[in-house]
Chains A and B, each alone.
Chain A
C-alpha cells in the first residue's frame, strides 16, 4: 500500500515507483511517496524490509532498478552521490580516526573553497550547537559513543545539505543515551529545519521522533502516517502487530454489529464485511478493561490470569479465555488500577472489550 502526497505544495523529495532487484531478489517494490521540506520522516520496519536499501537509493549509494527520484524538483535518479545534495550518518559513524573532531567536521568544508576563518567559525558554531566545543581537539577514539554520534551528525550538517539521511544512528548506543539523543537530534533538526529521513527498526524511536512514519515490510510500503495514525489506525495486521503490542483473535461476522469468536458473541461494527466472513480482530492491551466483581458492561469476557508482569508504571496480564477457544489475551492495567484489583496467577478476571477498540482485518492466512 502506498500513499501519494497530493496535498499542498510539491514535496521536496519525490519517489516514483522505485523498485530494486538484487539478481532475482526483489528488495523494493513500487515505492512512491513525497516528503515535504523540513519534515522528519522515519523508515520503520523489521530487518530485511528494504528500508536501508531505499535510503541508499536516495543517497545514490545504490541505484534503483526502476522508478525515479526527484529532489527539489530536479531528477537525481542517476546522479552519483557526489552530485547529490545530502549529508549522511551511518550506524558506525565512520568518523575519520586520524583526524580531530574539528578536522572531521571541517572535512566537507575544505572543498568549498571558503576562507579559513569562515571554516573555523562554522565548525565552532556547529560544535556549540551540540555542546561538544570542549572536545574539539580530541580524536574519535577518545570520545564516548554518544559524543561520536554527535560529531558524525554535525559533520553531515556542516555543508548545509538539503537532505539529512540517518541510517540507524542510535542502535549502537545504550538505552539511556539513546533516549537522550533522540530528543537532541529532533531539537537540532527542528532548529535547522533540514529535511530528514531516519531509518530505524525501533518503533519507539520512530514514534517519539518522526512527523510521519513510513512502515515497510518485504520491500513494500505498508502504511504512511503520523505516529498517532499508525498506532490508532493501523492499516494492516502487519502494521498493527509491528507497532506496539496487539492481541489478535479469529472472528466470524454474524451481523451488521456483531461478530463471534468461537463460542463468544461480541458487539462490533462490521462495516461492509459480509456475514460469515472470516476476519482477524485486533485489540490493544491497554484498551481491555479489567472489571471488579460488580461492574457491568458490554462485551464482558470471563478469563483466567495465567501470568502477571510488572513493567514499572503498568502491569501486563496474560489472560486465558476459554470462551474464545482458550486464546491468550494480553491486557495492560495501570499501576493505580492494579492496586484496586486482585491480580494473581490462577485467579479469575472479568474483562470488558470495548466494541470500538476492536479493529477488523481480512484473514489472509
Chain B
C-alpha cells in the first residue's frame, strides 16, 4: 500500500511535528502554566492576573499599546495606500526607483528609526520646534517610528492587492461615463478591500507587539512590550512577565484570525479570469503622485541618513566633526563580536530555516495521499505569526531552563537563538513556499511515480530548480529579519551570543546612543550587502533559466 516515498513523507512530517512541539507548542504551554503559578511554582489560579488588573500602572499599558498601535495603523495604511496607488494605478515616472525606496526601512532594526527620530526631534533635535513643546519621547515618537518601519509591510500587501485588478471593470465604468472620483470609490477601493483589511491587521499586530521602538523612544509611556521586559529583566518577576505575555497574545491571535478569514476570501477573488490593468497617463495625477512619493521617500531617507550621521558625528550637538570612533565599541561586554554573532545567526537562520520551511511546505502540499499529519503541520505552520517575539523568548526561558528538560543544553547557545528566530518568522516563509509549490503542475508527482522515479529524486531534479526564485526570497526574508530582530532574541542571548540588535538596545540603555546607532548601522550595511547579492543572484539565475521560463 505504501511505498518508500510515502514513508519518507511520513518521517519528514513527524520530524517537523517534533520541531514545532519543541520550538513552539510546549514552550507556549509552559508559559501559560507559569502565568498561573507563584514564584515558588505553586498553582495560584488567576491571582497574578487579578494583581495585574489591580495595578493601574500595569494595565494602563494596555490602553497605551492599543492607542499607539491603532494610531500608527491608521496613519500608515493611508500613507501606504497612496504610495501603492501611485505605483500601480498611475503613469508616474521612476516607479522602479520608488518601489525600491519603499523597502529601505526593512534593512534596519526598528530601534534605529527611533534613534534617528531623537536626533531629528529630540531635546537637542534639529527640528525640535516642530513638536511645539511636546516631547518626541512617548507616544509621538513611537507612532512616527512605528509608521516608518511598518510602511514596507503595509505597502507590499496593498500594492499586491491593487495590482490584481481587472481592466474590464474600469472599461465598463468608463463606458457608463463614470467620473474618476466615483470610479475610485466604487471600483478601486472595493477591489482592494481585502488587501486593506489584511494590511490593517498585520500592521496592527506588528506595532502592538513591537519592543525596539518603545524601548528607545517610549520614555515614560509604557506599553505591554516594554512592561514584559521590565518584569522579566528588571524585576525578575517571571510570573508577572508571563501574565503580560498572555495579555499581549490575545489581540494578536484575534487579529490574525480575522486576517486569515479575509485572506481566504481574497483567494477566491484572484482566481477569476482578469485582464491586468494598464493605467493611462494623466498629467495632473501623475505629477501629484510623483511629488507625494518623493516626499515619503525623502522622509524615509532622512531617517536613515540621520541614523548614519548619528553614528559618525563625534558628539551631538556640541562637536559635529565626523569620526569612526563610535564603531570601535570599546565598552565592557560589547564589541564587533556582537556583529559577527548577528551574521552567524542570520546566516544559520537563512540556511536552516529555508531548508526546513521548504521541506515542510512540500510535504504539506505535494503528496497525493491525504495524511492526517499534513493538516496538523499546516496548522502549526500558521501559529508562529500570532506569537510575538517577546512571548516566544520568555516561553523558551521557561521551557529550556526547566531542570527536567533534556534539551536544556541548548539554553544560552546560538542554537536556541536560531531556533527562536526560525520559529518566529516561520509563517510568512511557509506561505511563500506553499504559493510557489501550488503554481507547479499538480501531476508532476504522479508522472514521477508512473516512471518509477522516487519522490526525493524529482524533488531535487524538478521541484527545487523551478522554485529557486521563491527559495531565494524566503532566504533573504529570513536573513534580513534575523539581522534586525530584537524581540525574538532579547531574552535568550548569553554573554557569548549577544547579537548586534540587542547590543544596540543595551548601549542605548546606557546612554551611549552614538555607539548604538553605529552598531545598528552595521546591521544596515550587512543587510544592504546581502540584498544586493540576492538581487544579483536572482538576476543571473533567472537569466540562466530564462530559456525555460519564457512562453
A96-B444, A98-B462, A111-B453 are known contacts; what are 16 more A-B pairs with Cβ within 8 Å? Answer: A61-B446, A78-B1, A80-B2, A80-B5, A81-B450, A82-B4, A86-B450, A88-B446, A92-B442, A94-B442, A107-B451, A139-B548, A141-B548, A155-B447, A156-B451, A159-B451
B451→A108 contact, CB < 8 A: yes
A80→B3 contact, CB < 8 A: yes
Q: Tell me if A99 counts as interface (CB < 8 A to partner B).
A: yes
* A→B interface (CB under 8 Å): 59-61, 63, 78, 80-84, 86-88, 90, 92, 94, 96-99, 107-108, 110-111, 139-142, 155-156, 158-159, 161
Q: Tell me if B6 counts as interface (CB < 8 A to partner A).
A: yes
Known: A81-B446, A92-B443. A98 touches B548 (CB 8 A): yes
CB distance from A109 to the nearest CB of B (A): 9
Pairs A–B under 8 Å by Cβ, sample size 5: A59-B446, A81-B450, A86-B450, A111-B452, A141-B550
Residue of A nearest to B4 (CB): A82
CB distance from B110 to the nearest CB of A (A): 39
Summarize B's interface: helix, strand, loop or mixed. helix
A97→B451 contact, CB < 8 A: no
**Bound Cα distance A140, B368 (Å):** 24
Q: Which of A94, A158, A159 has the most CB of B within 10 A?
A: A94
A-B contact count (CB 8 A): 88
Q: Which of B1, B446, B447 has the most CB of A within 10 A?
A: B447
Which chain A residues lie closer than 8 Å to B4 at the CB level? 82
Which chain B residues lie closer than 8 Å to A92 at the CB level? 441-443
**Bound Cα distance A216, B171 (Å):** 45
A108→B545 contact, CB < 8 A: no
B548→A97 contact, CB < 8 A: yes
Residue of B nearest to A92 (CB): B441
| Total B residues in contact with A, Cβ cutoff 8 Å | 31
Which chain A residues lie closer than 8 Å to B550 at the CB level? 141-142
**Bound Cα distance A195, B83 (Å):** 61
CB distance from A56 to the nearest CB of B (A): 9
Q: Tell me if B551 counts as interface (CB < 8 A to partner A).
A: yes
Known: A80-B1, A107-B451. A90 touches B446 (CB 8 A): yes
Residue of A nearest to B457 (CB): A111
Which chain B residues lie closer than 8 Å to A159 at the CB level? 451-452
A88→B447 contact, CB < 8 A: yes
Summarize A's interface: helix, strand, loop or mixed. loop
Residue of A nearest to B465 (CB): A98
Proximity bits, B1-39, A CB within 8 Å = 1, else 0: 111111000000000000000000000000000000000
Which chain B residues lie closer than 8 Å to A84 at the CB level? 450
Which chain B residues lie closer than 8 Å to A82 at the CB level? 3-5, 449, 452, 454
CB distance from A161 to the nearest CB of B (A): 8
Which chain B residues lie closer than 8 Å to A63 at the CB level? 1
A88→B452 contact, CB < 8 A: no
**Bound Cα distance A86, B548 (Å):** 28
Q: Tell me if B466 counts as interface (CB < 8 A to partner A).
A: yes
Q: Tell me if B549 counts as interface (CB < 8 A to partner A).
A: yes
Q: Tell me if B324 counts as interface (CB < 8 A to partner A).
A: no
A108→B452 contact, CB < 8 A: yes
Known: A80-B3, A80-B6, A83-B3. A94 touches B451 (CB 8 A): no
Known: A78-B1, A98-B466. A90 touches B447 (CB 8 A): yes
Q: Tell me if B510 counts as interface (CB < 8 A to partner A).
A: no
Q: Tell me if B404 counts as interface (CB < 8 A to partner A).
A: no
Which chain B residues lie closer than 8 Å to A60 at the CB level? 449
Q: Tell me if B547 counts as interface (CB < 8 A to partner A).
A: yes
Residue of A nearest to B450 (CB): A88
The 3 closest A-B pairs by CB, nearest first: A108-B451, A139-B548, A81-B449
Which chain B residues lie closer than 8 Å to A156 at the CB level? 450-451
A108→B453 contact, CB < 8 A: yes
Residue of B nearest to A110 (CB): B453
A59→B450 contact, CB < 8 A: yes
**Bound Cα distance A141, B450 (Å):** 23
Which chain A residues lie closer than 8 Å to B444 at the CB level? 94, 96
Which chain B residues lie closer than 8 Å to A108 at the CB level? 450-453
Which chain A residues lie closer than 8 Å to B453 at the CB level? 107-108, 110-111
**Bound Cα distance A142, B551 (Å):** 6
Known: A80-B1, A141-B549, A141-B551. A97 touches B466 (CB 8 A): yes
Residue of A nearest to B454 (CB): A82
Q: Please provide the chain B residues from 443 to 475 with a CB less than 8 Å away from any CB of chain A in the complex.
A: 443-444, 446-454, 457, 461-462, 465-466
Which chain B residues lie closer than 8 Å to A111 at the CB level? 451-453, 457
**Bound Cα distance A293, B268 (Å):** 62
Known: A90-B447, A94-B447. A61 touches B5 (CB 8 A): no
